[in-house]
Amino acid sequence: MRQVRVFIVAGILVAGFWLRYQHYDQVPLVGDSMDEYSFSWLGLSLIRLGVPVAAMGVGGYENNIYRYINVDRVFQTGRYASPIKINYPWFDHPPLLGLVTGGYAYMSGARVFEDTSLFIIRKPMVIIGVAAIALVMLLAYEFWGYWPAILSGIIYATSPLVVVSSRMVQAENLLIIWFMLILLGLKKQNWLLAGIITSLALWTKFSAVVIFPVVFWQILNHNDKSALKKFMWGVIPGIVLLGIYYGVQGFDTFWAVNAANAGREYAIGSMALIELITKQRITHTKFLTDGWILSSWLAFFGTVLVNKKINLLHVFGIAYLAVYILFGNYPHGWYATPFWPVLIIFLGKYIYDGIIEAEKRWQVILVCLIPLGVGINRLWTYPNFANLADAWRWGIFGLLMAVLLFNRIKLLNKVIILTTILLLVAAVVTNAIWVGQLDVSVWYKVY
């Protein structure tokens, strides 16, 4: 039995890797986000020159150079007109992600900025994406056991929005790893580990401060007097060394950049919350509707509303929402990605409960119908869907009626469970097939 379980986990990781690796250097498109190159230039320049040099800083920089750096022939895509503004020392974000992708690019032979093609710099992101699947399963396992973990892992591995977003060189994709390790540390009351990983998160992006209220909530819940001290032992070295980094590179520029950052337009506006839930973005302007993410929001709100007590994962979700609303400037897709692992863990648990408990069977049917509908629509767009229309409407009608009327009849109950599981499998498979086929030609049709 143990071997079967390990085999299932390995299968999910392999499938997740395969989906992430398909067309990883083509979708999202070259130039969908110049941040991907900028992060890598930051790392490459730190390694080669000892100074962080990157692009399109928010402001406050004294050293600006304008150049056409035609990496991946981005200036031939017809999307970029003005030259790239290069700034140094670049302080928009801390350097850890840049060191990962820039370091990988350096080891792959990159020496100049034009060498950092997506073919090279997205490879570490694919690996980080697979590590995130493993951590989603581990975290779900710690909270709710094996099968909710497997369900969460399957959805996280195959959700089109997660798959595509995880390929991008964005700090949030690395933050996801740190956040899940911190939550694991906090769950196991390993305060020192949580502190050390928080240091790494702060070296990745300052929005990692979200973890502090989560830590304090957990410490208050456990009434462990030494917890805060142990946590701080882990955090302080990271903060001090980050301070040294900024001090050596130029503290004046650091303050000027942060002052400019603080003055940025609050462009997410008052629609931020509804847009966060209903509009799944890849970048600022590119959308990729994903039924799994919408369903996972429903599961998250469902558990918050139904449960009298909230747990550590709820606290993280709420704290990150608070930080998202506070910091938001533009609604770039990657700002929302740290929600997804936690939301999908809730969805995995929600679906699991729906399968094993007759009273909750509604919830699994409803949350699976959303991604199934999206997946079918993508694979069989109108008029091809006409052939499936009868199966779709009668199938759903029959299932809902059966659950409504016969859920408590034992013999029929097994049929309903089987049908519900088939519904889940169909939702996973349709979305996975579509994202596996997602190449540039399909990407242009996504909006």
Partner 1 sequence: MCQITLIKPEPASNGGFFGGKILFMKGYWLGMVIAVILFAGVLMWHKQAFSNQKLLEMINTPTKLKGMTDNYCLYQTALDPKEPNELAVKVTFVCGGRQALNTISWTTVTQPTLAGIIEQIARINGMNYPKMGLYCKIDGRIVADDSGVLSPGNQVVCQVPI
Residue 191: count of CB within 10 angstroms of its CB: 24
Are the C-beta atoms of 180 and 341 separated by less than 8 Å? yes
Binding to partner 1 by residue 69, rule CB under 8 A? yes
Residue 233 DSSP SS3: helix
Burial 293-305 (b: 16+ CB within 10 A, else e): bbbbbbbbebbee
Judged by CB under 8 A, which stretch of 6-14, 122-130, 233-241, 387-395 contacts partner 1?
A: 233-241
Judged by CB under 8 A, which stretch of 77-85, 216-224, 260-268, 411-419 contacts partner 1?
A: 77-85
Q: Residue from 17, 21, 80, 216 that binds partner 1 (CB under 8 A)?
A: 80
Q: Which CB sits closer to partner 1, 86 or 364?
A: 86
Q: Which CB sits closer to partner 1, 75 or 327?
A: 75
Site string for partner 1, 234-253 (x = CB under 8 A): --xx--xx--xx-xxx----
Binding to partner 1 by residue 285, rule CB under 8 A? no
Judged by CB under 8 A, which stretch of 46-54, 201-209, 251-259, 406-414 contacts partner 1?
A: 46-54
How far apart CA 22 and CA 40 sit, in angstroms, is 21
The neighbouring-strand residues paired with 287 are 281
User: Where do we find the tokens 């009626």?
Assistant: 401
The answer for residues whose C-beta is within 8 angstroms of residue 357's C-beta and 6 or more apart is none
Judged by CB under 8 A, which stretch of 80-88, 124-132, 196-204, 214-222 contacts partner 1?
A: 80-88
DSSP 27: S
Binding to partner 1 by residue 263, rule CB under 8 A? no
Q: Residue from 71, 313, 364, 372 that binds partner 1 (CB under 8 A)?
A: 71
Binding to partner 1 by residue 264, rule CB under 8 A? no
Within 124-163, which residues bind partner 1 (CB under 8 A)? none
| 441, burial (CB in 10 Å: exposed 0-12, middle 13-18, buried 19+) | exposed
Q: Residue from 21, 22, 48, 318 that binds partner 1 (CB under 8 A)?
A: 48
Binding to partner 1 by residue 114, rule CB under 8 A? yes
Q: Residue from 7, 18, 83, 322 that binds partner 1 (CB under 8 A)?
A: 83
How far apart CA 428 and CA 327 sit, in angstroms, is 34
Q: Which amino acid is residue 424, in one-letter code?
A: L
Number of residues that bind partner 1 (CB under 8 A): 40
Binding to partner 1 by residue 75, rule CB under 8 A? yes
Maximum distance among all Cα pairs of the chain, rounded to whole angstroms:
75
Residue 130: count of CB within 10 angstroms of its CB: 21
Binding to partner 1 by residue 112, rule CB under 8 A? yes
Q: Which CB sits closer to partner 1, 82 or 223?
A: 82
Q: Residue from 50, 59, 269, 398 that binds partner 1 (CB under 8 A)?
A: 50
Tokens of 271: 């629609």
DSSP 22: T
Q: Which amino acid is residue 259, in one-letter code?
A: A
Minimum CB separation of residue 20 from partner 1 in Å reads 23
DSSP H or E segment with residue 45: helix 35-49
Binding to partner 1 by residue 82, rule CB under 8 A? yes
DSSP H or E segment with residue 65: strand 63-67
Binding to partner 1 by residue 223, rule CB under 8 A? no
How far apart CA 31 and CA 80 sit, in angstroms, is 8
Q: Which CB sits closer to partner 1, 5 or 67?
A: 67
Residues that bind partner 1 (CB under 8 A): 44-45, 48-51, 53, 65-71, 73, 75-76, 78, 80-83, 86, 88, 111-115, 117, 233, 236-237, 240-241, 244-245, 247-249
